[in-house]
Structure 1
């Protein structure tokens, strides 16, 4: 970047900013950076240079500059810097003329800025946009507009990282126009295979089911970078029935986002519970309905059934998916989690998933055998990771962080781990395997780090728990006699590090000393200052070399405690939202 161009970008910051004008199915990123021009007139030099800056909250500043020519053929350099919401694809702003410096080398003086008029910019895809300039009357210029295309072929260039290669042309058959620009509504039952493309913002209206209960099965495929919102006025959630599938495979540079319709739009404020969540239901074992007819029922909607005897069942795959502001409350105690897995089998792939500011749990498993890697539960209103009804999957690399009490978002346990509320010794018993987990409380509120209760088993290793310091709470709590009875056998904890005001505590009903026994009985357990910089271990942290490598092929060798190896191992970067680093 030339010195003059840098000066132009800095100068443009002092100009008035205008709000973005549209909220739709295209997310600007640095993939749109560079030169764009009216390629239908290659000799006219009608070009613009864009530079997209993404802020921590997802909003964007679009720095732009271009050349215009006066009646005598002299170049005029104009600049603007509109502000856009995260999901806005068009904006208007004041346009400024820069005078001073030179056009053929580094500037030797600071350019002087004066208003030229206004500009509107809108992108239709990775490969097409429009620019309209309305000059002020005093300039003597007439209004002008261009259709522009990037100078590099971003359709074929993988390095571009741009997923939005088709333009919005209207809503497909069976859908209707939504309340947001370029949006289409999904409602009722999906009983045929469909693809949710990323040139459309898809709005869920009420309960949207995929297939029937092992009948009229359907597959929903979701493109990378697709935006899916609620409608904003009902219990909107996506429910994949047993026998049907969803393939939501985002990428690190184009995650799939489920969120509030108010998210990513300047002037609007999303809130936890603005929509429901994502629910996968399958035919895997569940100890609440261990035999035919396998009639387990969703706690938030008893009309919806799940459960079976196929441990290898597949509900599809979720990769690089965010679920923000979920957790719609039907009635007290009946909320949808950001991610809910009901009797989901281990043929399903769960990889790189984030829950952000959900009103209920970040992730909850009701039975099933499904495994997962790289999970993030951030600033949720209830538990980060919750399981019951005999879940026996595996998870590696999981991170949870609670919001400060001042935000009043609510918070509870890191793990809320149960076998079954009605029968603590029901079989198959919950026995998940967890490795490389970082749980960070907010220091003053919330619940326990690891709340192990109601007969849960499990093999928990390479876990750091820190900052669960509320009076009466602890890093580790063992609750109920059925849980205490299996300490050291079906329930183990090793290579764990506890860093709370109270590290271990007993619960109720005959668990005296069992939390301490669980901690003392595991290899490599320790306590004290975890030496974290935010959520990453610093150079002197005891976590960096205190882990264990298991011989289970599912687990990637990671001989350290916690989800992150060191300060250079932030695998949350790039595909998540709102994480403070």
Structure 2
């Protein structure tokens, strides 16, 4: 299926901001796995992988929880598909749980998964139809970079004991867990116990020597990207239709992320707390108790686009906050768009000193920004409580809805990436160096070719 990054009809309305971005990616991205031989990823009795190269001529099945052997590097060829194999039983707290499709890169191990825009590496559901969140387990990277825990914690979502060290953290800021580039992770997630889940991409104590670039996490059961401490930087990330938070920071994460897209979906499931939605574009905590532990959780985020739902009634039911900064976390977030939620940004018991929230465009159907204290550097922000998010944002065209609007049809027909500001948008800036959001006006979207935005069947 063609992956349209703009629609010609909308470009006709907004010629000033649209380029010709229609592309046809390599492979059949909407029909599940390609028609290739399938092979179970070879592992020993402890689940340690015994093969260090995975070729694209095979669809690789991940049985249970499989681990890259510490001290080794697992290389995955561009264009390779990996999916869930055999579910395996694990004992956790006296109960037996069946898990499959989980790939863990422990401390001192590395992953070399470098796809291309034409041939991304894809972790996805094994089903041809009826694919759903939780069909695949997830990808977990563990490193030796600093966290704010006094002893190395065990990563969440993995049963204990398991026979392989799944703790993370240390004092090696530049620790190297390998490379993930042009990678998609789809239909992931496993809830071991409440608040103890496997996410699409889980990062525990991952260091700045690791490369994370051009990664999409879609249709996940829990969070898309979760960072537990660490110093790893990242760029060009996409979170699509996840159940819980698109970006989650905890335990002293201090890296920088540039150019990222967060899109919510009225047809996906959403997490709840009590009887209300707890699904956020971003959630950040210093730790679960809001302590002053050091290093402080303080991600640096530049040119993000957080979009909820372009319908106030649906957004009120399905979503919580565009950004939720709480429990003594700090922040630096600049030149970003946050819109399509009842409340755009909520500051809750944050560390204001040293925090920056500047030059952002924020929309909320009820409240754009709430909470005190506000960050020390709180300047240049534009806010609105317009009836529809796009009537304020003016992305693509004032008459086009460039992101999810309603859930009435049961499946969403989505116009994927008309997300660049028009010249009339408050996010436009000068159109070159001061625009807000993940996509520069008049420039081809960096998502073209390797991402997948076609709706699945619910």
C-alpha displacement of 1:306: 0.9
Distance 2:454 2:27 in 1: 8
Pairing partner for 1:435 from 275, 278, 302: 302
Structure 1 residues 390 and 449: alpha-carbon distance in aligned structure 2, compared to 1, 3 A threshold: same
C-alpha displacement of 1:275: 2.1
Structure number having the greater strand percentage: 1
Does residue 228 in structure 1 map to residue 103 in structure 2? no
Distance 1:272 1:560 in 2: 34
C-alpha displacement of 1:492: 1.3
Matches within 5 A, 1:33-432: 58-59=29-30, 85-89=31-35, 181-187=37-43, 188-190=46-48, 194-212=52-70, 217-231=71-85, 233=87, 234-236=98-100, 237-262=102-127, 265=128, 268-289=129-150, 294-301=151-158, 302-303=160-161, 304-404=166-266, 406-408=267-269, 412-432=279-299
Structure 1 residues 56 and 449: alpha-carbon distance in aligned structure 2, compared to 1, 3 A threshold: farther
Distance 1:232 1:453 in 2: 39
Offset from partner CA, 1:404-433 (integer Å, 9 cap, x none):
1x4445571111011111352100111221
Which ranges in structure 2 are unaligned for 5 or more consecutive residues?
Answer: 4-22, 88-97, 272-277, 385-391, 397-401, 403-418
Q: Is this contact kept in 1: 2:260–2:305, CA < 8 A?
A: yes
C-alpha displacement of 1:57: 8.3
Does residue 540 in structure 1 map to residue 424 in structure 2? yes
Q: Is this contact kept in 2: 1:232–1:261, CA < 8 A?
A: no
TM-score, normalised by the number of residues in structure 1: 0.61
Corresponding residue of 2:345: 476
Corresponding residue of 1:498: 362
Offset from partner CA, 1:63-86 (integer Å, 9 cap, x none):
xxxxxxxxxxxxxxxxxxxxxx35
Q: Secondary structure at the match of 1:183?
A: strand
C-alpha displacement of 1:577: 1.0
Structure 1 residues 28 and 415: alpha-carbon distance in aligned structure 2, compared to 1, 3 A threshold: closer
C-alpha displacement of 1:329: 1.9
Structure 1 residues 423 and 308: alpha-carbon distance in aligned structure 2, compared to 1, 3 A threshold: same
Q: Is this contact kept in 2: 1:344–1:367, CA < 8 A?
A: yes
Does residue 451 in structure 1 map to residue 329 in structure 2? no
Q: Is this contact kept in 2: 1:232–1:274, CA < 8 A?
A: no
Between stretches 565-574 and 414-423, larger displacement belongs to 565-574
Runs of 4+ that moved beyond 6 A: 52-57
C-alpha displacement of 1:295: 2.3
Structure 1 residues 270 and 86: alpha-carbon distance in aligned structure 2, compared to 1, 3 A threshold: closer
Corresponding residue of 2:411: none
Structure 1 residues 430 and 53: alpha-carbon distance in aligned structure 2, compared to 1, 3 A threshold: closer
Q: Is this contact kept in 2: 1:419–1:426, CA < 8 A?
A: yes
Structure 1 residues 504 and 396: alpha-carbon distance in aligned structure 2, compared to 1, 3 A threshold: same
Structure 1 residues 493 and 579: alpha-carbon distance in aligned structure 2, compared to 1, 3 A threshold: farther
Q: Is this contact kept in 2: 1:386–1:417, CA < 8 A?
A: yes
Q: Is this contact kept in 1: 2:78–2:114, CA < 8 A?
A: yes
C-alpha displacement of 1:503: 0.6
Distance 2:339 2:304 in 1: 11
Structure 1 residues 57 and 247: alpha-carbon distance in aligned structure 2, compared to 1, 3 A threshold: closer
Q: Secondary structure at the match of 1:468?
A: strand
Does residue 559 in structure 1 map to residue 417 in structure 2? no
Q: Is this contact kept in 1: 2:243–2:268, CA < 8 A?
A: no
Q: Is this contact kept in 1: 2:303–2:335, CA < 8 A?
A: yes
Structure 1 residues 402 and 56: alpha-carbon distance in aligned structure 2, compared to 1, 3 A threshold: farther
TM-score, normalised by the number of residues in structure 2: 0.77
C-alpha displacement of 1:276: 1.4
State the structure with more CA Rg: 1
Distance 1:397 1:579 in 2: 21
Q: Is this contact kept in 2: 1:495–1:546, CA < 8 A?
A: no
Q: Is this contact kept in 2: 1:378–1:401, CA < 8 A?
A: yes
Please report the RMSD computed on the Cα atoms of aligned residues, expressed in angstroms. 2.6
Q: Is this contact kept in 1: 2:32–2:126, CA < 8 A?
A: no
Which ranges in structure 1 are unaligned for 5 or more consecutive residues?
Answer: 1-26, 30-51, 60-84, 90-123, 125-180, 507-512, 548-556
Figure out how many residues of one structure are paired with residues of the other and give that number: 377
Structure 1 residues 375 and 328: alpha-carbon distance in aligned structure 2, compared to 1, 3 A threshold: same
Corresponding residue of 1:12: none
Corresponding residue of 2:393: 530
Q: Secondary structure at the match of 1:190?
A: coil
